[in-house]
Structure 1
């Protein structure tokens, strides 16, 4: 194999956008050590959704992501669980209203790609959860289950040919394993972050 592909991320930069699961910095050091990133920027904001509006607008991923410098080789968006928990409306697939999940996600993706078309933008779905009365079967006040937000991310990935890491469907986080993989049935513990990182390494290696 061509040597260029042996360590494709060696010496490269990576920005991670998201919520408390990203802010906790549990998966980034593991992925960075495995893939050789020379610089990792953690832009996770605890308790904040991707969608704008409400009392957590200050940390909305759409705002944070649209404000980063167009300098990163790799950018990951890992958000959605707080949008579900905070009853953010889904909107529709042609939305550009940043107060809906669709509109905010599309706005963020298009902004990142317009400013830095060379970056390898990738999308991660939320994990399954069972906290604060919100599990995968709960319908929030906007009429949505968590899977509805996951499906938006998958559709956006398909529309823009962006790779999607489907942690909701493939991570093994579920109601029977959350006590082993998380601290509180939402936030990963050491084993949980190792699971996410192992999946992320193979995922990013093939981009």
Structure 2
């Protein structure tokens, strides 16, 4: 595998943690090219700013990509995407990428620990426990990704469980209780490397 395409939010843009995980992944997987379509503050649905579906509307899918790495869901919680809208969005995104590059692998990464006040709400809290303005916790989006993974047949990288970032060590691995710092990205990069090599045939 020499070429991958990333679709994600600010955790994937490289603007945090001294460059994020892209360079780590490029080195560990010996990649020649990385297309990075990540947009800060974005989610999957069109209800979020420049969400992934809008990115797909505006940017041709790279047909030479051998792997699509999608990391969305966290900002759908923040902005309050509807669950039916989110479910349909997952299917639309997967269908469009597969149609453009039928032989490419596709993996989706689950949201990590986050402590913040979601849009339109008055109180901050842990995203996996705190309902957003539409009454959904991050766990609801996580569980929908699990359901979609089974329904549509793509693997999940369960970053929530595997990276080991939680409330008691968040100050060590997150810059602001949302975005990873360098140490956090080192944990994330190791998980991505291991799981991509486990899931992908190349």
| TM-superposed deviation, 1:154 | 1.4
2:25 equivalent to 1:40: no
| TM-superposed deviation, 1:121 | 0.7
2:60 equivalent to 1:75: no
Aligned partner of residue 34 in structure 2, secondary structure: strand
The equivalences for 1:2-151 within 5 A come to: 9=1, 12-24=2-14, 25-53=19-47, 56=49, 59-65=50-56, 67=59, 68-91=61-84, 100-132=85-117, 133-135=124-126, 136-151=128-143
Match of 2:121 in 1: none
| TM-superposed deviation, 1:145 | 0.7
Residues matched between the structures, number: 186
User: Does the Cα contact within 8 Å between 2:63 and 2:101 map onto a contact in 1?
Assistant: yes
| TM-superposed deviation, 1:182 | 0.6
Match of 1:94 in 2: none
2:196 equivalent to 1:196: no
Whole-angstrom distance in 2 between the partners of 1:106 and 1:63 = 14
Q: Under a length normalisation based on structure 1, what TM-score does the superposition of the two structures give?
A: 0.86
Of structures 1 and 2, the one with the larger relative CO (CA 8 A, separation 6+) is: 2
User: Which runs of structure 1 show a deviation greater than 6 angstroms over 4 or more consecutive aligned residues?
Assistant: none
| TM-superposed deviation, 1:160 | 2.3
User: Does the Cα contact within 8 Å between 1:17 and 1:65 map onto a contact in 2?
Assistant: no
Gaps of 5+ in 2: 118-123
Gaps of 5+ in 1: 1-8, 92-99
Q: Alpha carbon RMSD of aligned pairs, Å? A: 1.3
Whole-angstrom distance in 2 between the partners of 1:130 and 1:69 = 34
